Structure 1
Amino acid sequence: MNAMPKYVASRTLRDPGWANTTVLNADLTAEIRRIKAASEEETVVLGSGGLLGTLMEAGLVDEYRLLVFPLILGRGKRLFTDGMGPRDLTLTATEPTPSGVLINTYRCRAEG
C-alpha cells in the first residue's frame, strides 16, 4: 500500500507524512475529475461519508460497493441523503460471505 498513489481530502492537512500521498485541499471536484482523467486505475473512497456525498452530488461516482449486514440497527447515518437526485444503477455482482454479509456492486449508468 505504501507504493500506491493516495489522495487525502483535507482543509487543514499540509504534509500527510505518508509516501506517495497527495493532499487535495483546493477545488476538490476539479481535482477528482483531473485524477480520474489521468488514470485508468480505480479510485476508492474509504471512511468518509462527507467526501462521498460531495462526489455523488458532482456525479463523480462510477460504482458503489454496498455491503448488507444481517443486522438491523434501526438507525444510523444515511449514505443517500434527502435532497439527492435519483441515480440509475445496474447490479453487476453479488457476493455472499461466510458470515452472511452480501457485497453488492452497482455501476452507475451513463447520464444523457
Structure 2
Amino acid sequence: MAQLSITTFVTLDGVMQAPGGPGEDSTGGFDQGGWSVPYGDQEFGTFVTEVFERAGAFLLGRRTYEIFAGHWPKVTEPDNPVATRLNSLPKYVVSTTLTDPGWEKTSVVPGDDLVKEITALKESTEGELQVHGSGRLAHSLLAADLVDTVNLLVFPIVLGGGLRLFAEGLPPTAFRHTGARTTSSGIAIHTYETAGRPQYGSYAL
C-alpha cells in the first residue's frame, strides 16, 4: 500500500501559488508567479530527484496536470530523473471536467467520493502516491486525513498574498518531523509525517 505524499514549495508566509512561472496561476489576480526560480540550486535539485525516485504513481489537480502535461512529455532525455518518472509511471488527475487526457498513462479520478477513490489508489500503488503542487487538491486531501507525508520546501521570501497550503478551516493535525536540510540558496527543506490530532496543555502553574 502506497504512502500519499505532498511535495510543495512555499514562501515564509505560506504562499504556494505559481512558484514556477508567471503564467502558472493568476487566480485571484496573483501576479507574482515564478518566485521560486531564483533560489534553484544543486541541493534543491538533488532533493527533488530523491523524491521522484520514490514515486510509484502521481496524483495531480487539474491545473497542475495541465502545466505538467504541456512540458514534461517533450523532455525525452533518458537521464532526466523527473521526466523519466512522470512519463513512465501512472498519473491520476482529479477533475470533474477532463474526459480525454492526452498524456500517456493518465487516468481521470472524478472526485465524487474522494476518500474512497484515493484510498483505492493507495491500496493499488507500490511506493509513493505523490502529489506535487495541486493546491486545491492538497486542501481536500488534508481535510479528508488522506495525507501521510508532507515535504515542505520553504523559500526565503514573503509575498503577502496568494493561495496557501494550510488553508483556514483544515482539521487540526499534528505532524512528526522526520527530516531537514538547508540549501546554499536558503531553501529550508522539511519532511513531516502526519501524527493524528494535536495534544494540548498549559504553561500555567
* Amino acid aligned to 2:164: R
Counterpart in 2 of 1:106? 192
Counterpart in 1 of 2:148? 62
In 1, Cα distance between the equivalents of 2:158 and 2:136? Answer: 23
**1:6 aligned to 2:102?**
no
For normalisation by structure 2, the TM-score amounts to: 0.51
* Worse-superposed segment, 77-86 or 63-72: 77-86
Gaps of 5+ in 1: none
* Amino acid aligned to 2:142: M
**1:18 aligned to 2:103?**
yes
For normalisation by structure 1, the TM-score amounts to: 0.89
**Tell me, what secondary structure is at the counterpart of 1:31?**
helix
* Worse-superposed segment, 3-12 or 79-88: 79-88
Deviation of the 1:22 alpha carbon = 0.8
**Tell me, what secondary structure is at the counterpart of 1:2?**
helix
Deviation of the 1:9 alpha carbon = 0.7
Of 94, 98, 115 in structure 2, the residue corresponding to residue 29 of structure 1 is 115
Please tell me whether Structure 1 or Structure 2 has the larger radius of gyration of its CA atoms.
2
Of 114, 117, 124 in structure 2, the residue corresponding to residue 38 of structure 1 is 124
Deviation of the 1:110 alpha carbon = 4.8
Aligned alpha-carbon RMSD (Å): 1.5
Bigger share in helix: 2
Deviation of the 1:105 alpha carbon = 0.4
Deviation of the 1:74 alpha carbon = 2.6
**1:92 aligned to 2:178?**
yes
User: Identity of aligned pairs, percent?
Assistant: 46
Deviation of the 1:65 alpha carbon = 0.8
Greater RCO (Cα-Cα under 8 Å, separation 6 or more): 2
Q: 1:39 to 1:110 in 2, by over 3 A?
A: farther
Gaps of 5+ in 2: 1-85, 198-205
In 2, Cα distance between the equivalents of 1:84 and 1:13? Answer: 27
In 1, Cα distance between the equivalents of 2:102 and 2:169? Answer: 37
